[in-house]
Structure 1
Amino acid sequence: MSNRNDEIKISKFLSLVLRHQPETIGIELDENGWTEIDVLIEKSAKKGILINHHLLKHIVDTNSKKRFAINEAGNKIRANQGHSVEVELGYTAQEPPELLYHGTGQKSVEEIMRSGLDKRSRHHVHLSSDIKTAIDVGSRHGKPFVFEVLAGQMHRDKFEFFLSENKVWLTSHVPVRYLKEKH
């Protein structure tokens, strides 16, 4: 089996090619973000990244953030969310909890309080259902800051929410009026 550092390297590589730059290795994602596992393995090897079916399944199954999914037939893989390339993940709108959370770095708070939460180069704004996850996300961007998102009110005001396979709540934009400074 591979060591943990190899698994992290491959997971980051998969995030790159399945979420942002499939052209890096010459793969194509279908309209729902899926690509053939055999093609991924073959094209990755040509770039010096050695993956086999067993290792790929292990990474998908053990990824703490559940970033990837393998289809039921076991022949395709995709990222669950976070794409900057155009894909339709096939999620249906759902009613969110009354409150959701968004973690960011302290340095971004002022801008967010002016414009709200924007998806930027991604397809959606990512929200979590618990404060701890939001703090962890915010920590990636410096001193963490957590916004409370009035998701229930947004939903009643006709904003759509989706729940990804790895339990990240997604929406297209959060206007300032639905944000509260949590911490």
Structure 2
Amino acid sequence: MLAVCPDHGYYRGEFCPKCGKKGRFLMSDKEIDILGRLLAGLLRHFPDKLNLKIDGRGWVDIKELLDALKISRSGFQWLREEHLRALVETDPKGRYQIYGGMIRATYGHTIEVKLDDLPEADVDVLYYPVTKEELEFILESGLHPSDRRKVHLSGSIEKAIEAGKVRTDDPVILKIDAKRAREDGVKIYKAGKDVYVTDFVDKKYISLLDK
């Protein structure tokens, strides 16, 4: 569940992780899941389904989003801006931003958006999962966006494995020399808690992770 503690703010779970008190209820786990899926779809893939206006950097007006959700989904008449803020602030992957009455997804887009206002990466190494069938091709040609507009990189081996297992039981992990890429002028942005995005990764920055 999603709740708010009067002393420590929004949290997920029955009790505040900082003080152990039970806060004011906001959303059930089921409602979190449904709303999260809707947000991901609307902000990343199909804002036009609810006639939402999305700007060049992926921002949507929160009031317009709330109105559209209430009109299109009869079960969301209770939805308020507080619920969106709570969902965004407690999202374990850091997938969204709210600023000045606007909301956006920070990665995962299939629609064209500019994300060059995200913070630039400050890490030396990043990781990317591939299947065994893809390995040779990527080592020869580099990393290009596939089903999304950006190449999505992981900040840890564990997260890369987790992402890779969505597609294959035994992902092969590639190591990206992010430090060298940045020194060469490649722009890499931090888009989530452990997700980084860029337009393309040249093969000279890619190597097979030593097991």
Q: TM-score of the superposition, structure 2-length normalised?
A: 0.75
Name the structure 2 match of 1:157.
Answer: 184
Q: State the partner residue of 2:44.
A: 19
Change (3 A) 1:96 1:42: same
1:140 aligns with 2:159: no
Q: CA deviation at 1:55?
A: 1.9
Q: 2:126 maps to what in 1?
A: 100
* Residue equivalent to 1:56: 84
Q: CA deviation at 1:92?
A: 6.2
Inter-partner Cα distance in structure 2 for 1:172 and 1:30: 19
Name the SS of the counterpart of 2:207 in structure 1. Answer: strand
Q: Deviations over 1:50-86 (max 9, x none)?
A: 1322221221112111111111x3x211111222222
| Offset, 1:38 | 1.3
In structure 2, the partner of 1:67 is 95
Percent of aligned pairs sharing the same letter: 26
Using a 3 Å threshold, how does the CA distance of structure 1 residues 122 and 57 change in structure 2: closer, same or farther?
Answer: same
Letter of the structure 1 residue corresponding to residue 176 of structure 2:
V
Task: Between 98-107 and 15-24, report the one with greater CA deviation.
Answer: 98-107
- The alpha carbon displacement at 1:149 in A equals 0.7
The aligned counterpart of 1:30 is: 55
Aligned-pair CA distance for 1:154: 2.0
Partners of 1:63 and 1:104 lie apart in 2 by: 26
Counterpart for residue 179 of structure 1:
206
Gaps of 5+ in 2: 1-25
Partners of 2:120 and 2:94 lie apart in 1 by: 20
> Match for 1:38: what amino acid?
K
Do residues 169 (structure 1) and 196 (structure 2) align? yes
Decide whether the 8 Å contact of 2:176 with 2:205 is kept in 1: yes
Shift of the alpha carbon at 1:18?
0.4
Where does residue 125 of structure 1 map in the other structure?
Answer: 151
Q: Secondary structure at the match of 1:113?
A: helix
> What is the rounded CA distance, in whole Å, between the counterparts of 1:115 and 1:47 in structure 2?
44
Structure 2 residue 72 is matched with structure 1 residue 44: no
Question: CA distance change for structure 1 residues 95 and 7 in 2, over 3 Å: closer, same or farther?
Answer: closer
Give the letter aligned to residue 86 of structure 1: E
- Alpha-carbon distance in structure 2 between the residues aligned to 1:127 and 1:150: 11
CA distance in 2, matches of 1:13, 1:103: 27
| In structure 1, distance between residues paired with 2:64 and 2:118 | 29
